[in-house]
Chains A and B, each alone.
Chain A
Amino acid sequence: MFSDTIAAISTALGEAGIGIIRISGNEAINIADQVFRGKGKKQLTELPGFTVRYGKIVDSEGTTIDEALALVMRAPNSYTGEDVVEFQCHGGVVVMQKILDLLLSLGARLAEPGEFTKRAFLNGRMDLSQAEAVIDIIRSKTDRSLGVAVQQLEGSLSRRIQSLREKLYDLIVQVEVAIDFPEDDIPEIGLETMKTVLLDVLAEITKLIETADNGKVLREGIKTVITGKPNVGKSSLLNRLLDENRALVTDIPGTTRDIIEEVLNINGIPLRLIDTAGIRDSEDRVEQLGVQRALELVDEADLILHVLDISRELESEDIQLLTKLKERKRILIINKVDLPRQWDSRSYLLSSGYIDEQVPVVEISLTEDKLDPLLDCIVGLIMGGLVQIERENAIITRSRHKHALAEAKQDLEQALETLDQGLPIDLISIGLNGALEHLGEITGETVRENIIERIFAQFCIGK
């Protein structure tokens, strides 16, 4: 009953760092074949079911992205009952991401949460007694990812997409009002104006897609924020992490000048490190803006590295932060242990109730010690816990976003072409509406009813 082909990362990073990408549907083998160069002579399309091939995954230019095993399964003898190809690769998350993007660009559709299981069931690959279990899987995956998808939208990205949507809405509403109320004397939107807006939106979307590729905005990874009052050693920590673990060396200013974001690679796990200006109460208004933003960042963070200075008594600022971060996934870094201790670190924090037994505490001198204990602590936390799940979601979300942006771009290019050809506005509206809908997929909004609302809110129409 399903004709389209779906793809997804099914295990982002399993044991021994192996990730699996799964493709299922009529075109699965064809699509996989286009990116896979096997060691043997045969194409994937020529292989019988249950065959494994070793080879390379290459992009459209023939550049190798990763080495991989390809497992081919043919309908109906596969998990989903459809043609299925599984790639097992080990290049880490960033590479998996690239492969998935490649598959999507070749016509696969990103699988909905739980869709492999759903297909398996609907194609009769599971028996009735499993229906309930299937429902549970679908239920939990869908609900979680829907929530997470929107929630994971970065504040700045979401704002940018919202503003693009506003611009498109504006165009569409003007087109629709002209179409449905031609007798009401409403000034018709000029094609030149429309074109200017279209080009503007298109450029912005292109930029967003590029940054997604460079890993700047829609970058995968665990959002990590370093907090602590001034002078505890935040910059020192950042610099050392970067010196020793920097992945993509970029110095990207955030939306405000005082926020710096970097990507680290710790044992194959990408961390997005955000350096805040320092979270503290400030009288200075300009600075407060930064603080506001910093607190926002803390809210959005997957992981918080909270730095404390053992060489100075804890101050009210430290206490406030400790309280604020109580419910969050965090590591406490007690710095400057090379200097005389002014307070009894872990036991003090425990007895005062600022932390419980679960919260990892690392004592360190950032000027003298190795970082290894801290890195181990970070990796342990991620591999062991909740952060990992969210990371997988983040990856899926990112793919979805990028894909939606690409589709929106295509629609707008079509609208532009239509406009340039001098075709009527109704045809231009097809591309506009498509783009709006795709951007809506990112922010989780539906369109149609809104347009009618907007028409009535903006125009004096009707008789």
Chain B
Amino acid sequence: MGKDYAVIVVGGGHAGCEAALAAARLGCKTLMITMNLDTIAQLSCNPAIGGPAAKSHLVREIDALGGEMGKVIDQTYLNIRMLNLSRGPAVHALRAQADKVKYRAVMTMTLESQPNLTVRQGMVSKLLYEDGAICGVQLNTGTKITGETVVLATGTFLRGVVVIGDVRYPGGRQGEPSADDLSQSLVDAGLRLARFQTATPPRVHADSVDYGKLTCQPGSKKPLRFSFDTPLVVREQIPCWYTRTTPDTIRVIQKNIELSPIQSGTVQGKGPRYCPSIDRKVMRFPDKVDHQIFLEPEGEYTKELYCLGLTTSMPEHIQAKILQTIPGLENAQIMRSGYAVEYDYILPDQTYPTLESKVIKGLFTAGQINGTSGYEEAAAQGLIAGINAAHKVLGRPPLILSRSQAYIGVLIDDLVTKGTDEPYRMMTSRAEYRLILRQDNADLRLRELGYKIGLIDEQRYQKLKAKRAAIQNTLKWLRETPVSPTKEVRDYLIQLGSGDLKKAVTLHEILQRPELKFGDLEFFAPLPELDPEVIEQVEIECKFKGYIERQLKQIEEFNKMEDISIPDDIDYFQIKGLRSEAKERLTAIRPTSVGQAARISGVSPADINVLLVILKGENHVSA
């Protein structure tokens, strides 16, 4: 029986956009249905993409696999900077200020131009089932649309409630309705939901700000880009500004703390600790008075300035009072108030690492609905959910990225294996192999995979191969080019502020000296003409060789357990020798590999040994 669509994506947020594009590009007839076509790819909170804590890594990984986020931000940023330059290559972080209007427009245009993809406005109120599997969605208008798979990417909208002060009203974001019926439909299907909350700061009018009292933060003068396909150019940029709170700010907040919804209990649900509201910061760290406040432009065609650092859902008149205490913002005119939103999410232990639901076959979920927070986290899941929904339809094996392969792998594994008790955000310290999961090598790590999946075209793949070859050849050349400790060489090294040279070495060893750059080797031999990104890889590979090799070795060990898969039909309660807690946890999580099983809390090393023996006994493991 033919369905209307192979893949139906519900929601046009960052998760939904990636999911829809991936599915359509893999050749599936795809529908993206979202409540409002004018708010596709809305940057609901901070108008910025990327940044530290592995957010820029996620964008790069999405791009390497053939996703869209990096390309769109490259076309629409207001300014861009590389952070963390002094702290090591693995934690360099690219952050771009987005023009939220253009970002929406470019993404919308990309979707609407995509073959195989239908974009349509509508509110989904119900999921449709057939024999325990999903078979489509029903709109609030009664229209039924059938599909072989459905990707839910409804963000903060499920039974969303907007909170400002003591006012609560239904809404998925301020100014947009909540999706209440859909939540009920999920509960009816047997899914367990819980509540989270998140909040956003006020936006003020750019002309009401006294720039004389602010510090300017310009963009980078170096060419920077997220996508490996964007040409490296420097664009004209619009700066950000910053200021600080004062003791008066703290006093105003403390005096009115009873009116803070987190204090009064008007807002429930757990909020993200890494995005604390200013009221929460004052409550927790009362001694700190000078919190940084960044003022970020929201676009070329709007005067709105985003007040980063002032997240709050206190009553509107208090928000105004708070602003008055901050240098530069004394007369700031609020265009939109800060607010909190409370919403349902699906407890992620009900989801496979493929992002398919364990409860409803053919239903995939991505983004905030899975308990995460952040555009990049959402987009990353959207991409994986879109690929896996398409793969299911096409009868291809699912894509699961490993923790040793990508931050996306860490993100999804954390979610489905450990769950989360606050909106989950990526952080580099969540990854075991940070030095390998760099943002500069995301293409080397993942593009070939993207090519095999079919989201990276031949030309881009050839480009990757050429880059890889150039890196290898250059490293080889470095290892094979000798340097003798002649007087000239020694003088040169000393003049560069590097140490003396006592014996003959190779260029590779010279470059390993932390203070030397590839360009400094010009003195020893004519350097090959190389792309700056190739040089970057060569320098990293050479300088951090020992560290990288060590992590690669650890990964090899790690992968042994990851590579032993567990059949889905295994009955843990039949296994003698597992403790009952382990039986319950394993049955609940249904890990796909022994490695994943070992990460479940409540499963001990002894349980894993028992499991190994059983799997071997059932011939699922080859010796």
Contacts and interface: CB of A to CB of B under 8 A. Distances in A.
Given A146-B606, A448-B430, A181 B86 contact: no
Contacts of A114: 609
Contacts of A131: 613-614, 616-617
Interface residues on B, range: 35 or more
A379 interface: no
Contact of A427 (B428, B544, B560, B613): B544
A176 B514 contact: no
Interface in B195-254: none
A427 B273 contact: no
B490 interface: no
Interface in B589-619: 604-606, 609-610, 612-614, 616-617
Given A138-B613, A182-B87, A427 B435 contact: yes
Which of A118, A121, A426 is the most central at the interface, judged by chain B CB atoms within 10 Å of its CB? A426
B501 interface: no
Contacts of B514: 421-423
A430 to B, nearest CB: 6
Nearest to A185: B292
A122 B52 CA distance: 44
Interface in A417-463: 418, 421-427, 430, 448, 451-452, 455-456, 460-463
Given A118-B609, A132-B576, A426 B288 contact: no
Interface residues on A, range: 35 or more
28 contacts: A2-B560, A4-B557, A121-B613, A122-B616, A123-B623, A124-B623, A135-B610, A139-B609, A142-B605, A146-B604, A180-B429, A182-B83, A183-B292, A183-B294, A423-B543, A426-B90, A426-B91, A426-B434, A427-B88, A427-B544, A430-B550, A456-B274, A460-B284, A460-B288, A462-B275, A463-B46, A463-B275, A463-B311
Contact of B577 (A135, A452, A463): A135
Contacts of A118: 609, 612-613
Given A425-B87, A448-B430, A463-B311, A180 B435 contact: no
B194 interface: no
Given A121-B616, A176-B429, A138 B610 contact: yes
Given A135-B576, A181-B52, A122 B429 contact: no
B430 A182 contact: no
Contacts of A67: none
B570 interface: no
A179 B614 contact: no
Given A176-B429, A448-B429, A146 B605 contact: yes
A440 B616 CA distance: 31
A134 B613 contact: yes
Interface string B549-583: 01100000100100000000000000011000000
- Binding site secondary structure of chain A: helix
A215 B557 CA distance: 33
B155 interface: no
Nearest to B543: A423
Contacts of A456: 273-274
B87 A422 contact: no
Which of B86, B428, B623 is the most central at the interface, judged by chain A CB atoms within 10 Å of its CB? B623
Nearest to B276: A462
B26 interface: no
Given A183-B51, A423-B88, 19 more contacts: A131-B617, A132-B577, A135-B613, A139-B610, A143-B604, A146-B604, A180-B52, A180-B54, A181-B52, A181-B53, A185-B292, A423-B543, A423-B544, A425-B87, A426-B88, A426-B89, A427-B547, A456-B274, A463-B308
B427 interface: yes
Contacts of A136: 577
A7 to B, nearest CB: 17
Contacts of A249: none
A16 interface: no
Interface string B410-424: 000000000000000
A286 interface: no
Contacts of B276: 460, 462
A452 B430 contact: yes
A112 interface: yes
Given A136-B577, A146-B604, A448-B430, A182 B52 contact: yes
B526 to A, nearest CB: 29
B411 to A, nearest CB: 14
A75 B292 CA distance: 65
